[in-house]
């Protein structure tokens, strides 16, 4: 009954098998190997675009390097105030941007609304003493499990580009958002105006494999050096490429994401059937954010369930969590089974029955 995150899981078998295959024999180091070359080509095909690809082992590394490639040291990088880049990366983006600052905007479900971005930009003094906005970062899916449609991405990209900013997408849960939207990788990114993407694969079946994709030529120019200088270029680069080979083969990545999303929906349907349980945000990817009666939460924890409490900062207007309730996050993964979900729901139903009887 562990729904703490999707990164608590190991790798999926096709990814591990590809790693074992790639282990054989000598190959050139630092990404000059044929496996890395093949993955670079694969990304170009998948995204229907010539794209510069930089493989890295962590999402924080991908985000920090991507933002540094589009925001100069005197610039401002904007994200939602609860975005991973501003809240959960120990200042890595600011560190790699060498002095640039991050500004956090409000928004329901950790999504930035175009009107919020516009009024924030309109309120910025246009003076040499102020840091000019140069980068906008959005998370797909968001920290509240919602997805931006291509039209929503395009609306933000339009404002960003008109204001001299480039658009970064933190795609830690890229595949989960993609299968939810049913669009193509191209539609969700460069066709909607994304300039740089952190393509996440670790949460959805890899061990440690992420890629920075630069659709923007200028950003691509510096990324190779930034990655090496920042210590994110693996000498045995084939190990990241091999994971991605296993990940993409036979659309394994899409199947993984569909499964994780379906498990989240199953979990949400079961939970909301219980008295006093409602969702803080719709389930659009592989995360469920129920508001639980505190007594139910305590009983679930006592029964061995593992999940995290969550922030109330991005609730819908008019929604609030009462003092006898708690907002929590449950995350499903590519390998979460129906039996695990049903076991958790059984425990929740028993806890709710016991609570009613007390
Ligand atoms: C939205 C988001 N971005 C990026 C990351 C990647 O972080 P890490 O550096 O732990 O791979 C995570 C992981 O939790 C995340 O949830």
Q: How confident is the model at residue 304 (pLDDT cuts 50, 70, 90)?
A: very high
Segments of the chain assigned to CATH 3.40.640.10 = 13-252
CA of 172 to the centre of ligand 1 (A): 6
Q: Could you tell me the sign of the dihedral formed by the alpha carbons of 276, 274, 299, 286, in that order?
A: negative
CB contact at 8 A, 105 and 117: yes
Please tell me the predicted confidence (pLDDT) of residue 357: 84
CA of 112 to the centre of ligand 1 (A): 18
Q: How far apart are CA 18 and CA 88, in angstroms?
A: 31
CA of 354 to the centre of ligand 1 (A): 37
Provide the β-strand partners of residue 327: 291
- CATH number for the domain formed by residue range(s) 253-357: 3.90.1150.10
Please tell me the predicted confidence (pLDDT) of residue 355: 82
Q: Is the pLDDT of residue 114 over 90?
A: yes
What mean pLDDT is reported for the chain? 97
Paired tokens of 70 = 């589009």
- Ligand 1 atom with least separation from CA of 208: 11
Asked whether the whole model's pTM tops 0.75, one would answer yes
Q: How confident is the model at residue 356 (pLDDT cuts 50, 70, 90)?
A: confident
Q: How far apart are CA 162 and CA 124, in angstroms?
A: 15
Q: Does the beta carbon of 58 lie inside 6 Å of ligand 1?
A: yes
Span 327-343, average pLDDT: 98
Span 314-322, average pLDDT: 96
3-state SS class at 314: coil
CB-based contacts of 62, cutoff 8 Å, min separation 6: 56, 198, 199, 200, 210, 211, 212
Closest Cα to atom 6 of ligand 1? 59
Assigned fold of 13-252: 3.40.640
Q: What percent of the chain has pLDDT above 70? A: 100
Q: How far apart are the first and last CA of the chain?
A: 24
CA of 102 to the centre of ligand 1 (A): 17
Please classify residue 83 by burial: count the beta carbons closer than 10 Å to its beta carbon, then call 0-12 exposed, 13-18 middle and 19+ buried.
buried
Segments of the chain assigned to CATH 3.90.1150.10 = 253-357
Q: Does the beta carbon of 59 lie inside 6 Å of ligand 1?
A: yes
């Amino acid at each position: 009954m562990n729904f703490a995150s999707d990164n608590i899981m190991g790798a999926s078998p096709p990814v591990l098998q590809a790693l074992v295959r790639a282990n054989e024999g000598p190959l050139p180091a630092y990404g000059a190997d044929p496996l890395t070359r093949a993955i670079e080509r694969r990304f170009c095909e998948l995204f229907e675009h010539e794209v510069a690809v930089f493989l890295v082992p962590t999402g924080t590394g991908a985000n920090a390097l991507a933002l540094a490639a589009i925001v100069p040291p005197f610039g401002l990088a904007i994200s939602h105030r609860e975005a991973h880049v501003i809240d959960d990366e120990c200042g890595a983006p600011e560190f790699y941007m060498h002095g640039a600052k991050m500004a956090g905007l409000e928004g329901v479900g950790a999504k930035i609304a175009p009107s919020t971005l516009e009024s924030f930009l309109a309120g910025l003094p246009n003076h040499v003493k102020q840091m000019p906005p140069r980068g906008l970062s959005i998370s797909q899916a968001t920290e509240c499990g919602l997805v931006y449609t291509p039209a929503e991405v395009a609306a933000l990209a339009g404002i960003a580009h008109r204001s001299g900013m480039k658009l970064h997408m933190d795609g830690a849960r890229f595949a989960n958002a993609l299968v939810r939207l049913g669009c193509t990788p191209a539609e969700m990114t460069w066709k909607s105006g994304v300039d740089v993407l952190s393509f996440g694969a670790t949460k959805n079946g890899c061990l440690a494999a992420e890629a920075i994709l630069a659709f923007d030529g200028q950003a691509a120019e510096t990324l190779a050096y930034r990655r090496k200088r920042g210590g994110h270029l693996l000498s045995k680069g084939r190990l990241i490429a091999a994971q991605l080979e296993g990940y993409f083969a036979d659309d394994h990545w899409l199947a993984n994401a569909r499964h994780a999303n379906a498990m989240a929906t199953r979990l949400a349907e079961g939970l909301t059937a219980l008295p006093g349980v409602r969702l803080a945000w719709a389930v659009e990817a592989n995360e469920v954010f129920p508001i639980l009666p505190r007594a139910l939460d305590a009983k679930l924890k006592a029964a061995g369930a593992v999940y995290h409490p969550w922030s109330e900062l991005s609730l819908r207007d008019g929604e609030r969590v009462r003092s006898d309730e708690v907002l929590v996050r449950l995350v499903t993964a590519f390998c979460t089974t129906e039996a695990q979900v049903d076991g958790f729901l059984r425990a929740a139903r028993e806890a709710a029955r016991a609570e009613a009887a007390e």
